[in-house]
Amino acid sequence: MWHLYHFPLCPFSRKVQLVLGEKSIAYDPITLYPWDAGEEFRRLNPAGRVPVLHDSVRNWALIDSQAICEYLEETVAERPLILGSARARAEVRRLVALFDESFFGDITGPLLHEKMRKRLVLRQSPDSKTLRETSRLLHEYLDYIDWLVDNRRWLAGEQLSLADFAAAAQISVVDYLGDMDWSDHTSAHEWYRVMKSRPSFGPLLRQKMDGLPPPKHYADVND
């Protein structure tokens, strides 16, 4: 049986949950806040991060969302998500890295720090200069998503791929924190509505973080 160590607003855990859902793989979610984690979790993952996908029967763990997704891709034939020619697969991985690293580093990471960690752990209020900067950068990324979906059927090409799920996972966290602004991004918004209405998104829309409720529209698949 798979156990997924995650916490509700971790975008990398969300990416893995989407892939598990798409591939119809059963798992037990276990909530773990890395900043509260003890020795036992450190033994499972010396890097001290989530997501970790643990096989409790054979007692071994998959670590790092991308390593987990590549593993699931290699072992579960249902719904391939890194597909096509080697070049097409490289384009999927380029976009996954763009969202996992650049989008996370520019937007999701700073927002989680300002709105989640400062509120729940540090008891400080968010810095308005940082929020203005993330909101400016968000529009640049949404311009790029507009461009991609205006020129291709899905983000990486003709097929739905891991790139769409990596991007949607990051955006779903920004949306939970109340910071999505779709004005002037009709194409990107339409793409996200389609992603959000997939059954694999259900668990993400139901997850709540104690002390940090999502805005009303968050779980509305028509919004």
Ligand X SMILES: N[C@@H](CCC(=O)N[C@@H](CS)C(=O)NCC(=O)O)C(=O)O
51 interacts with ligand X by CB under 6 A = yes
Query: Dihedral of CA 189/195/199/201: which sign?
Result: negative
Within residues 21-60, the interface with a copy of itself by CB under 8 A covers 46-47, 49, 60
- 171-175: list long-range contacts, CB under 8 Å, 24+ apart: 172/11, 172/14, 172/196, 172/201, 172/204, 172/205, 173/9, 173/10, 173/11, 173/14, 173/108, 173/111, 173/112, 174/107, 174/108, 174/111, 174/138, 175/214, 175/215, 175/218
Pick the stretch among 15-23, 30-38, 63-71, 202-210 that binds a copy of itself (CB under 8 A): 63-71
Q: At what angle do helices 11-22 and 162-176 cross, to 10 degrees?
A: 130
Residue 107 exposure: Cα atoms within 13 Å on the Cβ side: 27
202 interacts with ligand X by CB under 6 A = no
In the complex, the smallest distance separating the C-beta of residue 115 from ligand X, rounded to whole angstroms, is 14
Candidate list 4, 8, 10, 17; residue touching ligand X; CB under 6 A: 10
133 interacts with a copy of itself by CB under 8 A = no
64 interacts with ligand X by CB under 6 A = yes
Question: x/- string (CB under 6 A) for ligand X, residues 94-133?
Answer: ---x--xx--------------------------------
140 interacts with ligand X by CB under 6 A = no
Cα–Cα dist 175/222, whole Å: 14
Q: Residue 84: what residue type?
A: G
Candidate list 4, 8, 29, 65; residue touching ligand X; CB under 6 A: 65
Number of C-beta neighbours around residue 131 at 10 A: 15
Candidate list 18, 19, 20, 50; residue touching ligand X; CB under 6 A: 50
Cα–Cα dist 22/44, whole Å: 26
119 binds, among ligand X, a copy of itself, none (CB under 5 to 8 A by kind): none
Q: Which two tokens stand for residue 190?
A: 């339409």
Q: Residue 213: what residue type?
A: P
> What residues line the site for ligand X (CB under 6 A)?
10, 12, 34, 48-51, 64-66, 97, 100-101
> What residues line the site for a copy of itself (CB under 8 A)?
46-47, 49, 60, 62-64, 66-68, 70-71, 74-75, 86-87, 89-90, 93-94, 97-98, 102, 144
